[in-house]
Each structure stands twice: as C-alpha cells, then as structure tokens.
C-alpha cells in the first residue's frame, strides 16, 4: 500500500465515489468515457475549447450521431455532469483525463500541439492530490518527456504532490458490441503511487484493468494494436491487387480462410485507410525509429500500400467507364458514403476525400450521398467544393455515369441501388451476392 497521503486520500475518494472525474476533449473518445464514469456513479466535468459543443451538451443534445441525445439528457437529469470551456474549472476535478487529437504534420511528424496545450491548461490549475491521465494516442515517451515537464512547471512534484498515468483509448465508434465500460483498460503509471490511483479509478468504470510497468509500455501497446491492423490491412490490399489480376475474388478467398478456427484473423481490403487511428498511429512509431537511427520497414511498406489504394480505385473507375466508352472527364460520378467507416458520422481521414480529390483532378462531375453526413465538412488536407448529400432516389442514381461505393452503410438498400445505378464500382464488397455486368469490384 502506498505511504503517500495524497494517493491514499484520492484512492479513498475514488472508492467512495466522491472524486470528480474531468475529461478534456469531448469527442468520439471523451463522451463515451464520461458515460462510463457517470454510469459508475461519479460526478463528472467535461471541458472543450469549442463553446458550441458545450452549449449543445448543456441543452441535452449530442453532436455525434451514434451517441444518443438520451445519454446526455440522462447525465443532466442525474445531475452527474457539467460542461465548460473555462480551463479554471478543471481545478474542480480530482482526476483529469486528456482525450484530445494527436494528428500528423504534413511531413508525417507527430503533432502534439493539442496535448501540450491541454497540459499547460492543467498546469495552471494543478493542485496537490490530482491525477492526470493522457489517453490520446502517441509515441512511447510522450507522457514522461512532454507532459510531465509541463505539469511540473506548476511547482508541484509528480509522484508525491500529484499523479501521472497513461491509459490508451480503445474506442470503436459505431460498434455496438463494445462500449467504453466493456473494454479492458491498459494503465501505465509514472510511478507506483500513480499506477495505484489510476488503476483504482478505471477499475470502477470498466470491465477490467491491465496494469503495465510504465507509461511507455502503455503508449507502445496502443501503437502496436493499430500497427498490427495497418500491416494486415496492407497485406489484404496487396493481395486484392494480385488476385484481381489473375481473376480471383479476394473476398471469397478471405471468407474461405476465416473458416479456419486457429491461426488466422480476417482483415478486409478497402479504398484506403480512414479514421484517426490506423492511418496515423503507426507513423508515430516510425518517427521514434528515425530519431533512434532505425528504419521501420514493415510500417513504411504498409503505409505505402494503403495510401496507394485510392489511386487503384480511380484506375478501376476509369476502366469501368472506358468499357462504356466514357472518359472520367465530364462523367457524373456519385460517391456513396464519405464517413471513414460504416454507420458513423466520422469523416476523419476518410479515403472518400482522397477519391473525390483524384476524380475532380480528372475532370469528373462529383456528387455524394451519406445519410450520416448531410454536408461535406471542410478537411484540412483536402480542398473540395461545398457539397450537400444528394437524396438517394431512383432519378439521382439513373442520372449518374458511375456510382462509387466507398462506405457500406447499413442504411443502404443494395438491391435498389443495383437496380437503378447504370454502373457501380464497389470497393467494399457491399453488393455481394448481386450478379450484374454493371458491378465492378475495386
């Protein structure tokens, strides 16, 4: 048992549900995390720099499609939740969990500006007995080498006055099989006291905790999880190119292979990688490797294959149109789905934007439909014209020269689409089982 009085006091407050849990960053990670702690009986405080988000939450409205308004209204009815854009109010929280974006720069270097800004805000209000946990995905060493020095500018000492830990987020937006409370939580502490209080906190709200020996191990764990996915997706993407050339359906091959009850896990090809994790996280590890004069060849090769997939898809679109004696230039091409995965309203790093950019460069006349994204959002890496989702009607489908399936939302009626679209290029095997010469796989 820790002899640190601050640690024992915080542990007691956590076990008695008297500790206030604060979350910085009220997005796809922060809101489910708040839900888990509120359901566990904790008083919570949400912080975000975006005042419009705060206003919506305090009015009982969600701005993320798969997070129901009822969640927010329930939090407010229980009087277990408050939200603010005032950093000074973070002093009210006994545990502060940082869930902010960690994107890549144009040169694919880590951009920790949101993390550093959050740490500076916490340092300004830091008091003895508080726990600070970073959940944002990052490279090994960030908590100790970046966060800790900023926090200690407060004049307080980590491990004795306050506590620091890292626990990687494991959200899967739109996956109803896994909630934040139902996923085991890896926890690494800066020291024994930090690990003890952080593990005690998460143990109250999640199905189980997985303590590890350091923050660096916890940080590396998250990178491994997403690098594993990136590399295996790259493998099936490359096999898709090969099998397509020799006349084999890669989707049928995967379906056959996954009947093996051991030694194989199914991964699926697509038009490119999307979301905040898989297209980004492995390059954090590559950056660390370069700083240690090493090369991560698997990671770099996987990234090269995955980022080349949109170009392959465009070539398939051009080939399909060519069989109908039409060029890409001037053709009306509809993009079906711009979210990065099915049944969510999250467009982050969606390959659909790259597909649209490439098609526009070739002179295509673009439109799109996505029931979850009514208006095309501005994306910092892509410059596309303002667009609203077209209604998926018979007349709209018939007006197109080609429909490009980028995201296979469950709301789509594939039989209706196959009946009325004159030409379809399917990157998701969404029209599996529908046989037609006008359906091309990509």
Tell me which residues are annotated as active site.
277
* Kind and range of the H or E run holding 84: strand 81-84
Residues 6+ apart with CB under 8 A from 388: 374, 375, 376
HSE-CB at 437 with a 13 A cutoff on CA atoms is 2
Residue with tokens 């990670």: 29
Greatest CA separation for the chain: 78
- Residues facing residue 441 across a β-bridge: 426
Do 191 and 157 touch, CB atoms closer than 8 A?
Answer: no
DSSP letters spanning 156-203: --BTTTBEEEE------TT-TT--GGGS-EEEEESSHHHHHHHHHHHH
Check the CA dihedral 228-233-238-243 and report its sign.
Answer: positive
d(CA 219, CA 134): 10
């Amino acid at each position: 048992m820790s002899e640190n009085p601050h640690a024992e006091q915080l542990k007691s407050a956590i076990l008695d549900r008297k500790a206030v849990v604060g979350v910085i960053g009220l997005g796809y990670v922060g809101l489910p995390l708040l839900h888990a702690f509120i359901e566990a009986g904790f008083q919570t405080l949400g912080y975000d720099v975006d005042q419009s988000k705060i206003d919506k939450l305090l009015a009982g409205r969600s701005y993320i499609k798969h997070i129901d308004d009822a969640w927010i209204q329930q939090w407010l009815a229980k009087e277990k939740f408050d939200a603010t854009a005032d950093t000074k109010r973070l002093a009210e929280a006994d545990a502060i969990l940082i869930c902010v974006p960690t994107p890549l720069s144009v040169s694919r270097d880590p951009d920790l500006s949101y993390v550093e800004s959050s740490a500076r805000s916490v340092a300004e209000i830091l008091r003895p007995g508080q726990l600070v946990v970073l959940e944002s995905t990052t490279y090994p060493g960030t908590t100790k080498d970046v966060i800790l020095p900023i926090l200690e500018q407060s004049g307080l000492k980590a491990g004795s006055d306050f506590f620091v830990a890292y626990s990687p987020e494991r959200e899967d937006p739109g996956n109803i099989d896994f909630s934040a409370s139902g996923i085991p939580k890896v926890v690494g502490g800066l020291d024994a006291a930090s690990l003890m209080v952080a593990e005690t906190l998460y143990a109250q709200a999640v199905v189980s905790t997985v303590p590890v020996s350091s923050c660096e191990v916890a940080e590396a764990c998250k990178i491994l999880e997403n690098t594993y996915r990136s590399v295996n997706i790259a493998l099936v993407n490359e096999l898709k190119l090969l099998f397509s050339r020799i006349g084999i359906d890669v989707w049928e091959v995967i379906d056959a292979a996954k009947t093996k009850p051991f030694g194989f896990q199914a991964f699926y090809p697509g038009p490119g990688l999307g979301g905040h994790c898989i297209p980004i996280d492995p390059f954090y590890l590559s950056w660390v490797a370069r700083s240690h004069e090493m090369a991560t060849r698997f990671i770099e090769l996987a990234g090269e294959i995955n980022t080349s997939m949109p170009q392959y898809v465009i070539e398939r679109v051009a080939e399909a149109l060519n069989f109908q004696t039409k060029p890409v230039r001037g053709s009306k091409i509809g993009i079906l789905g711009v979210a990065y995965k099915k049944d969510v309203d999250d467009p982050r790093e969606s390959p659909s934007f790259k597909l649209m950019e490439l098609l526009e460069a070739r002179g295509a006349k673009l439109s799109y439909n996505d029931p979850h994204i009514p208006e095309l959002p501005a994306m910092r890496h892509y410059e596309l014209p303002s667009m609203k989702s077209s209604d998926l009607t018979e007349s709209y489908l018939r007006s197109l020269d080609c429909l490009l399936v980028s995201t296979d939302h469950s709301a789509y009626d594939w039989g209706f689409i196959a009946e009325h679209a004159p030409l379809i290029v399917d990157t998701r095997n969404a029209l599996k089982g529908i046989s037609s010469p006008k359906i091309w796989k990509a």
